[in-house]
């Protein structure tokens, strides 16, 4: 483990466990005087292939995702939190963001909103733990 974290990423999906992860990430970032980024991802792969419909739905999802991050950041902290919304499969987006941005620590909930997906294709958390380029803190 590094002596001090510089860049902390917290993955958020709106679940109660991801909100607990935000609390923990804020505490860690403050103790380490680190930069904190909150990331959420929207997966549009299941949206109809009709271009106009997909564009309209995607736009609405992006607005909702940004609003969710704003609400959580406002409720949880007085510190500056960078907020990012990515489009893609969450587990891949989290790992790729961590690699691209030289993240030192990823904080995330043990489970999220995708209980059915977790049974079918494996959990986002398990994927991130196994593929992340840095330490991962799983919050229960």
Least confident residue range of 15-24, 36-45, 56-65: 56-65
CATH number of the domain bearing residue 53:
3.40.50.620
Average pLDDT score, the chain: 85
Is residue 2 included in any domain, yes or no? no
- Count the domains in the chain: 1
DSSP secondary structure letters along 27-90: HHHHHHT-EEEEEEEE--TTS-S-HHHHHHHHHHHHHHHHHHHHHHHHHH-SS-EEEEEEES-H
* Sheet containing 35-42: order of strands: 81-87, 35-42, 7-11, 105-109, 135-139
Domain for residue 1, yes or no? no
82-137: pLDDT as tens digits: 999 999 999 999 999 999 999 999 999 987 665 555 555 458 999 999 999 999 99
Q: Tens digits of per-residue pLDDT, 61-86? A: 888 899 888 888 876 667 889 999 99
- For residue 55, give its domain range: 7-138
Q: Is residue 115 part of a domain?
A: yes
Residue 47 has pLDDT above 90, yes or no: no
Whether 97 is in a domain gets the answer yes
**Residue 93: its H or E element:** helix 90-100
pLDDT surpassing 80 at residue 50: no
Q: What H or E segment, with its residue span, contains residue 7? A: strand 7-11
């Amino acid at each position: 483990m590094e002596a001090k974290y510089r860049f902390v990423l917290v993955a958020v999906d709106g679940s109660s466990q991801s909100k607990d992860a935000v609390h923990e990430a804020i505490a860690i970032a403050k103790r380490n005087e680190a930069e904190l980024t909150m990331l959420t991802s929207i997966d549009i792969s299941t949206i109809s292939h009709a271009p106009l419909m997909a564009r309209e739905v995607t736009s609405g999802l992006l607005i909702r995702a940004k609003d969710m991050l704003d609400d959580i950041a406002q409720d949880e902290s007085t510190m500056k939190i960078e907020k990012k919304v990515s489009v893609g499969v969450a587990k891949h987006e989290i790992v790729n963001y961590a690699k691209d941005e030289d993240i030192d620590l990823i904080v995330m909930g043990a489970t999220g909103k995708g209980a059915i997906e977790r049974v079918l294709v494996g959990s986002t958390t398990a994927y991130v733990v196994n593929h992340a380029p840095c330490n991962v803190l799983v919050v229960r």
